[in-house]
Amino acid sequence: MAKEPVRVLVTGAAGQIGYALVPMIARGVMLGADQPVILHMLDIPPAAEALNGVKMELLDAAFPLLKGIVATTDVVEACTGVSVAVMVGGFPRKDGMERKDVMSKNVSIYKSQASALEAHAAPSCKVLVVANPANTNALILKEFAPSIPEKNITCLTRLDHNRALGQIAEKLNVQVTDVRNAIIWGNHSSTQYPDVNHATVKTPSGEKPVRELVADDEWLNTEFISTVQQRGAAIIKARKQSSALSAASSACDHIRDWVLGTPEGTYVSMGVYSDGSYGVPAGLIYSFPVTCSGGEWTIVQGLPIDEFSRKKMDATAQELSEEKTLAYSCLN
Ligand SMILES: NC(=O)c1ccc[n+]([C@@H]2O[C@H](COP(=O)([O-])OP(=O)(O)OC[C@H]3O[C@@H](n4cnc5c(N)ncnc54)[C@H](O)[C@@H]3O)[C@@H](O)[C@H]2O)c1
Ligand SMILES: O=C(O)C[C@H](O)C(=O)O
């Protein structure tokens, strides 16, 4: 019997990531090749015409899994009945704007969209925040949607995770699918800590640690980390726009693994509400290694953390605490 369609919200759907993301969702990349979807696309009135253009293209593409399209500038209509919400909409930094100005615009958007989701989304709605500052927007959304279970509110660090796998695959000249269990700790910002201490590569003679195969701790502890941390900025420099196709693809990976589960023995990185694991202060949205099963993520426990990692994990937690304080000061 055919499955019932799932309603998927994409905010900021007329933007660059939205344009890359909605066809992926309509093709089944996010929820599976047998899962029909109804796309809910939200943007703001100045982007309404462009949003309608995206709707026209979705119709023109005749996606077999796409059972309906809601394209709207009304946040209540957009949120009604959705089971997955991908929050891409936000205010980009413009010339001359301070970090606090951007934070102030975005946290007030996330505060009001939290209320709309809480009141109108499906009770089990899974939320992924992509828009920057992603961790802090997700935290504000969580705080202002107290009836949505905290486990249902996450932010995107899968792009950073995939970037780390990609860098290792390039370095070792292996397939990216043979590399697994890199970890992104902390903030989706340049303080994130990409950690390969537990990562492995599948080789003809079995699974080997990345550190052993790379055999260059100096590179792993410096250039590798800064390349992943700075990759977003490098894309902006090259494209004059921020990453879009890789962000959209990683958002699909995040939701797919969350809903359908991670492969046995594989963990992925997700920004989730900290419960104090690994000494990370509770009450932050922090990126951890997780496994997913039955529609729930679980933080991978018990990984040994060396002193080098500890310092980097603490530094990114510190930045998130500061962002949290700044976000609250913007809401006052
Ligand atoms: N977490 C990640 O890995 C990651 C990666 C890349 C980009 N990003 C972030 O994703 C966000 C989107 O990037 P983009 O390149 O698509 O930007 P964009 O400017 O092309 O698109 C953003 C869209 O959001 C819309 N928007 C603004 N306010 C809105 C609101 N209140 N409700 C609904 N829509 C609203 C805009 O009209 C625009 O269409 C940015 O914040 C970017 O920094 C995050
Ligand atoms: O938009 C940015 O600042 C960069 C983006 O978050 C990215 O990681 O590509």
pLDDT digits 0-9 by tens, 128-167: 999 999 999 999 999 999 999 999 999 999 999 999 999 9
Using CB distances shorter than 6 Å, the residues near ligand 1 are 11-12, 14-18, 42-44, 47, 88-92, 109, 130-132, 134, 156, 159, 188, 242-244, 247
Q: What is the pLDDT of residue 253?
A: 99
Mean pLDDT, to the nearest integer, of 165-190?
98
Q: What is the pLDDT of residue 102?
A: 82
Residue nearest atom 36 in ligand 1 by C-alpha distance: 12
Is residue 282 within 8 Å of residue 151, measured between CB atoms? no
Q: What is the pLDDT of residues 68-113, one digit of tens each?
A: 999 999 999 999 999 999 999 998 776 666 667 788 889 999 999 9
Q: Going by CATH, does the domain composed of 6-155 fall within 3.40.50.720?
A: yes
Rounded Cα distance between 1 and 155, Å, is: 34
Mean pLDDT of 279-295: 98
Nearest CA to ligand 2 atom 3: 232
pLDDT at residue 103, rounded to an integer: 87
pLDDT of res. 188: 96
Known binding residue 178? Answer is: no
Token pair for 284: 């932050």
Instruction: Tell me which of 187, 231, 235, 254 to substitute to probe ligand 2's pocket, judged by most ligand atoms within 8 Å of the beta carbon.
Output: 235
Residues in Cβ contact with 18 at an 8 Å cutoff, skipping those fewer than 6 apart: 10, 12, 41, 43, 54, 88
Q: What burial class does residue 18 get, using C-beta atoms within 10 Å of its C-beta: 0-12 exposed, 13-18 middle, 19+ buried?
A: buried
Ligand nearest the Cα atom of residue 73: 1
Q: What is the pLDDT of residues 181-223, one digit of tens each?
A: 999 999 999 999 999 999 999 999 999 999 999 999 999 999 9
Average pLDDT of the residues in 223-238? 95
Reduced 3-state DSSP string for 302-315 = CCCCCHHHHHHHHH
Average predicted confidence (pLDDT) for the chain: 96
Catalytic residue among 40, 188, 198, 254: 188
- Alpha helices by DSSP H, listed for 240-287, are 245-260
pLDDT at residue 94 in the model = 67
Q: Which one of 132, 155, 250 would you pick to mutate in the ligand 1 pocket, going by the greatest count of ligand atoms within 8 A of its CB? A: 132
Evaluate whether the domain defined by 157-327 bears CATH number 3.90.110.10: yes
ipTM over 0.95: yes
Q: What pLDDT score was predicted for residue 104?
A: 87
The number of CA neighbours under 13 Å toward the Cβ of 79 is 19
Q: What is the per-residue pLDDT for 331?
A: 84
CB atoms within 10 A of CB 163: 23
Provide the sign of the torsion angle of the four alpha carbons 322, 182, 154, 50, taken in this order: positive
Q: Is 254 a catalytic residue?
A: no
**What pLDDT is stored for residue 257 in this prediction?**
98
Domain ranges of the chain: 6-155, 157-327
User: What average pLDDT score do residues 30-46 get?
Assistant: 98
